[in-house]
Structure 1
């Protein structure tokens, strides 16, 4: 497992955001209102997480977080196959 500078709760929130977004992007999703509300709540958790204000690694960005989450999903898909 690679070391990353992001707190676990931030990574978990970003992973949940990505899953929710993908569910919402499916053709004819069910529970659209619930999914949209979840996406908004998760967006707030990710965007306003204290990590971004007390950042000890100034070169890290939200793009780095997205890359880390996507890489983690890819790793899990490969191990499941």
Structure 2
């Protein structure tokens, strides 16, 4: 059982952030501006989420959870 459960919407938002970050970090992304805007929207959503706001440990735990689910390194 997971010691730090997160709601599905929060997990999905972090997963989308990670996917967008990786797409933007790729050489010559196809839609640089659209990816940057999407990353900004997702970043704001994560930053101001009341479950994470001013809780660095919860942010780190969420990123670790996404790393565990995806099996990849965390970009941020």
Specify the alignment match of 1:20 in structure 2: 20
**Structure 2 residue 68 is the aligned partner of structure 1 residue 68:** no
Q: RCO greater where, 1 or 2, for CA within 8 Å and sep 6 or more?
A: 1
Show structure 2 runs of 5+ residues with no match: 72-76
In the TM superposition, residue 3 of structure 1 has moved relative to its aligned partner by 5.3
In 1, Cα distance between the equivalents of 2:52 and 2:22? 25
- TM-score (ref. length: structure 2): 0.80
In 1, Cα distance between the equivalents of 2:40 and 2:22? 14
Asked if structure 1 preserves the Cα contact closer than 8 Å seen for 2:20 and 2:39, the reply is yes
Larger Rg computed on CA atoms: 1
- TM-score (ref. length: structure 1): 0.76
Aligned length: 71
Specify the alignment match of 1:2 in structure 2: 2
Please give the root-mean-square deviation of Cα atoms over the aligned residues, in Å.
2.2
In the TM superposition, residue 59 of structure 1 has moved relative to its aligned partner by 8.8
